[in-house]
Structure 1
Amino acid sequence: MIIRRTLRVPAIDGPPGDGAAVARQLDATLLGVGFTASRELMEHVSGLEPGVAMDLAVRVIAAVRELVGDHVRHNSYFIGFPDDVPDTVEFWVSCLRDALARAYGVKVAKRELRARLRTLPVNLLALPWYGRYRHTYAELLAAHDELIASAQDRITVLHLGGALEQEITSLYLRLAGSVTPLGEADLAILGELAVECLDGEQPESVPVRENRAVVNVARLAAGRPLAGLDTVTDVLRVACAASAGDVSLQAPTRFRSFRRRERRALLAALDRVVADNRGKLADVTPHARRWQRLGERLHPHEHGYFPHAREVFAVARGDRKARSLAGRVELAFASGDVRRAVKLLSAAPGLLLRQLDRVLRKASPDDFGEVLTALSGALDGVSGRVLCSVREHLVNRAEPDAVRVFVNRNRRAWTTDDRRPPLDGAVVARTAGVLDAELARRLPEPARLVVDPVVLALALPLSGKASEGGFAIMPRGSVTPVRGELLRFFTYWRQATRRTDYDLSALLLGDQFEYEGHVSWTNYHDGGAYYSGDITDAANGATEFIDVPLADMRARYVVPQVNIYSGEGFDEVAESMFGFMTRDRVRRGRPFEPRTVRMRSDMRGSGRVALPVVFARGEDGSWSAKWLHLYVRGASWGNRTEVNQVSTAMLVRAVMRREYLTVRYLVELLRRKAGSYTAYQPGMSLDQPVTFVGVERPDGLPDGSEAITLDRLNELVPE
Structure 2
Amino acid sequence: MRDTLEQLVVRHTHRVPLPAQAVGRAVSATAAGPAGQGAVAARQFDAALMSVGFKLSARVLEHLSGLSEGTVVDTAVRTLRTVRQMVGDHVEHNVYFVDFPANVPDTLDFWLGCIAEALTDDRVRDSTLVRLSEGVVDLLTLPSYGRYRHTYAEVLAAHDELAPALGDRTTVLHPGGPLEDEVTALYLALAGSSTPLGEDALGDLRFLAGHCADGPQPAAMPVRENRALVNRARLAVGAEPLLDTVTDVLRLACALSDGDVTLREPTRFRALSRPVRRALLAGLDAVVAASPDKLADVTAHREPFKRLGERLHPHEYPRWPRAADVFAVARGEKEARSFDSRVEELLGANDVLGAVRLLKAAPGRLFRSVDRLLRVAAAQEERDAVVAAAEEVVGQVSGRVVLSVREHLHNRAGVTGERRVFVGRSGRARVAHDARPPVPPAERERLTAALDDEVRRRLPAVDRLLVDPDVLDVALPLSGKATTSGLGVLPRGSLSPVDGELLRFFTYWRQTERSTDYDLSALMLDADYGTVGWLSYTRLTEVEGEHSGDITDAPDGASEFINLRLGAVRGAFVVPQVNIFSGEGFEEAAESFFGFMLRDAEQAGRPFEPRTVRMKSELRGTGRVALPLVFLRGPDGRWRAKWLHLYLDGHPEANRVEGNKASVATLLRGIVERDYLTVGYLTGLLAESGTTVIRWDGTAVPDGPVTFVGLERPEGLHPGSRVITPGNLRDVIPD
Category of TM-score, reference length = shorter chain: over 0.9
Among 234, 237, 258, the residue aligned to 2:272 = 258
Are 2:594 and 1:578 equivalent residues in the alignment?
yes
Give the secondary-structure state (helix, strand or coil) at the position aligned to 2:17: strand
Q: Is the 8 A contact 1:485 1:584 kept in 2?
A: yes
3-state SS of 2:176 partner:
strand
Inter-partner Cα distance in structure 2 for 1:48 and 1:126: 59
Measured after TM superposition, the shift of residue 521 of structure 1 is 1.1
Determine if the alignment matches structure 1 residue 56 to structure 2 residue 72: no
Separation (CA, whole Å) in 2 of partners of 1:62 and 1:345: 52
Partner of 1:450 in structure 2? 466
Task: Pick the aligned partner of 1:144 from 159, 180, 185.
Answer: 159
Residue 11 (structure 1) aligns with: 18
Report 1:18-29 matches (<5 A). 18-29=37-48
Residue 157 in 1 paired to residue 164 in 2?
no
User: Does the aligned pair in 1 maintain the 2:470–2:497 contact within 8 Å?
Assistant: no
Residues 115 and 54 of structure 1: CA distance in aligned 2, closer, same or farther (over 3 Å) = closer
Structure 1 counterpart of 2:32, one-letter code: P
Deviation at 1:426, TM superposition (A): 2.5
Aligned partner of 1:44 among 50, 58, 63 = 63
The 1:279/1:95 distance shift into structure 2, 3 A limit, reads: same
Pairing 1:98-109 to 2, within 5 Å after superposition? 98-103=117-122
Q: Which residue does 1:95 correspond to in 2? A: 114
- The aligned runs of 1:639-658 (5 Å cut-off) are 639-658=655-674
The alpha carbon displacement at 1:220 in A equals 2.1
Cα distance 1:290–1:105, how it changes in 2: closer, same or farther (>3 A)?
closer
Would the aligned equivalents of 2:168 and 2:612 in 1 still touch at CA under 8 Å? Answer: yes
Question: Is the 8 Å Cα contact of residues 449 and 674 (structure 1) preserved in structure 2?
Answer: no
Q: CA RMSD in A?
A: 1.5
Contact 1:563 1:640 in 2 (8 A): yes
Show the counterpart of 1:335.
349
> Alpha-carbon deviation of 1:256?
1.0
CA change 1:564–1:113 in 2 (3 A) is closer
Verify: 1:546 aligned to 2:557, yes or no: no
Say yes or no: does 1:625 pair with 2:659. no
Show CA shifts across 1:498-532 (max 9, x none): 11100000111111111222211111123422111
Residue identity matched to 2:257: S
Partner residue in 2 for 1:384: 399
Tell me, yes or no, if the aligned pair for 1:445 and 1:674 is still in contact at 8 Å: no
User: For residues 244 and 462 of structure 2, what CA distance do their matches in structure 1 show?
Assistant: 34
Q: Which moved more, 1:313-322 or 1:326-335?
A: 326-335
| 2:304 corresponds to 1:304 | no
The aligned residue for residue 346 of structure 1 is: 360
Of residues 537, 545, 563, the one that matches 1:521 is 537
| TM-score (norm. length: structure 2) | 0.95
For the 8 Å contact 1:503–1:564, the answer to whether it is kept is: yes
**Structure 1 residue 321 and structure 2 residue 340: aligned?**
no
Aligned with residue 2 of structure 1, among 5, 9, 16: 9
* Structure 1 residue aligned with 2:91: 72
> Which of 280, 284, 290 matches 2:298?
284
Deviation at 1:381, TM superposition (A): 2.0
User: Using the alignment, how far apart are the partners of 1:678 and 1:617 within structure 2?
Assistant: 28
Partner amino acid, structure 2, of 1:198: A
Partner of 1:420: 436
Match of 1:563?
579
Q: 1:82 aligns with which of 94, 101, 119?
A: 101
Q: Equivalent residues in 2 for 1:346-385 (5 A)?
A: 346-363=360-377, 364-385=379-400
| Cα distance change, pair 318–102 in 1 and its aligned pair in 2 (3 A) | same
Measured against aligned partners, the alpha-carbon deviations of 1:527-581 in whole angstroms (never above 9, x if no partner) come to 4221110000111110000111100000111111101111111001111000000
Out of 700, 708, 713, the residue aligned to residue 724 of structure 2 is 708
Superposed displacement of residue 676, structure 1: 2.4
Contact 2:298–2:330 (CA<8 Å) still a contact in 1? yes
Deviations 1:406-429 (A, max 9, x none): 011111111111111122333221
Answer whether contact 2:624 2:652 (CA < 8 A) is retained.
Answer: yes
- In 1, the alpha carbon distance for the partners of 2:374 and 2:717 equals 47
Paired with 2:535 and 2:691, the residues of 1 have a C-alpha distance of: 52
Letter in 2 for 1:572: E
Contact 2:579 / 2:655 at 8 angstroms: preserved in 1?
yes
2: CA distance between counterparts of 1:485 and 1:135? 29
Report the CA distance between 1:690 and its aligned residue.
1.0
Cα offset, 1:115, TM superposition: 8.8
**Which residue type is aligned with residue 108 of structure 2?**
V
Describe the shift of the 1:376–1:523 C-alpha distance in structure 2 as closer, same or farther (beyond 3 A).
same
The reply to whether residue 183 of structure 1 matches residue 198 of structure 2 is yes
Counterpart of 1:244 in structure 2 is 258
SS of the residue corresponding to residue 122 of structure 2 reads helix
Distance, in Å, in 1 between the alignment partners of 2:720 and 2:160 is: 46
| 1:198 corresponds to 2:217 | no
The CA deviation at 1:221 is 2.6
Pick from 232, 241, 245: which aligns with 1:217? 232
Number of the residue aligned with 2:527: 511
Amino acid at match of 2:574: V
**More deviation in 231-240 or 672-681?**
672-681
- More moved, 42-51 vs 10-19: 10-19
SS of match in other structure, 1:11: coil
SS at match of 1:582: strand
Residue type at the aligned position of 1:566: S
Aligned-partner Cα distance in 1 for 2:64–2:133: 69
Q: What do the CA deviations read for 1:610-657 (whole angstroms, capped 9, x no partner)?
A: 000001111111111000001111111111111111111100110000
Secondary structure, aligned partner of 2:91? coil
Number of corresponding residues: 714
**Residue 659 of structure 1, CA deviation:** 0.5
Q: What per-residue deviation string (whole Å, max 9, x for no partner) do you get for residues 238-273 of structure 1? A: 111221111111111111111111111111111111
Partner AA of 2:77 in structure 1: V
Q: 1:114, 1:225 → 2: CA distance?
A: 72
Alpha-carbon distance between aligned partners in 2 of 1:272 and 1:686, rounded to the nearest angstrom: 54
1:615 aligns with 2:631: yes
* Identical residues among aligned pairs (%): 55
Aligned residue in 1 for 2:27 = none
Query: For the residues of structure 2 that align with 1:675 and 1:82, how far apart are their CA atoms?
Result: 50
Distance 1:711 1:499 in 2: 35
Distance in structure 2 (CA, Å) of the matches to 1:104 and 1:409:
49
TM-superposed CA distance for 1:116, in Å, is 5.8
| CA contact 1:221–1:262 (8 Å) conserved in 2 | no
Q: Answer yes or no: is 1:119 the counterpart of 2:126.
A: no
